[in-house]
Each structure stands twice: as C-alpha cells, then as structure tokens.
Amino acid sequence: MLGTVIEEPVIIDGTLTVKDADDNLALVSGLNTIPAGTNIVAGTSAWGYKVNGGAYTAITAADASVHSSDEATMGGDITNISYGVSTSEDQAAGVYTDTIVFTATTK
C-alpha cells in the first residue's frame, strides 16, 4: 500500500529489490493512468520511488536493487524508500493504484 511504513527492523545479509508486480508500470484508475517516470514535478504526470533521499527512479518490471549488504545488521543499516506522484492539470481525478513487490534475498 502506498505510504505504508515498515517499522520493524529487518535483518538482511543479502539484497533487497523492488519491482512492479506486472508489465503495466502505470498507476491506474479505470481507463486513466499515471506513467512511471523520474520527472516528479508539478504539471507532469509521473510516479516513482527514491532510495535514501536520492533522485526519483521509475519502477520497472525487473528487480531493481535498493539495498545490498554483506553483513547481517540489526536496525543499524536503514534504507529509506519513498514514493512520489505528480500530475498534470488535465489528469483525471481518481484513486490510482498499482502493486509493487519487495524481495529480500539472503546470501
């Protein structure tokens, strides 16, 4: 769910990846869409994610690494992932949704 915060510590000795659950990368509301993109600014319809305050990245259908570690840590190695959405003036109002998948793989 967009905006969900996971507050429990996660121990990862490996990789955390993110991807869209299907090949449609857009946020969808009926027949209306907001495309995945990196230009998240007022006046432009786009949505994306950023890691640790970096630049926005467009979601893809392939796994994209958002964290990698060679050592198990308990709460001391935090990765912040946030989502941004912007719309153009002609973007139709609606509830836009998509499903993303996070996968944690141990080494």
pLDDT of 5: 45
Phi and psi for 73 in degrees, rounded to 5? -130, 155
What sign has the CA pseudo-torsion 61, 66, 71, 77?
negative
pLDDT at 30: 97
Check residue 77 and give its pLDDT: 67
Q: What is the pTM of this model?
A: 0.82
Cβ-based neighbour number of residue 47 at 10 Å: 25
Mean pLDDT by 10 residues, the chain (107 residues): 47 81 97 97 94 94 89 68 93 96 84
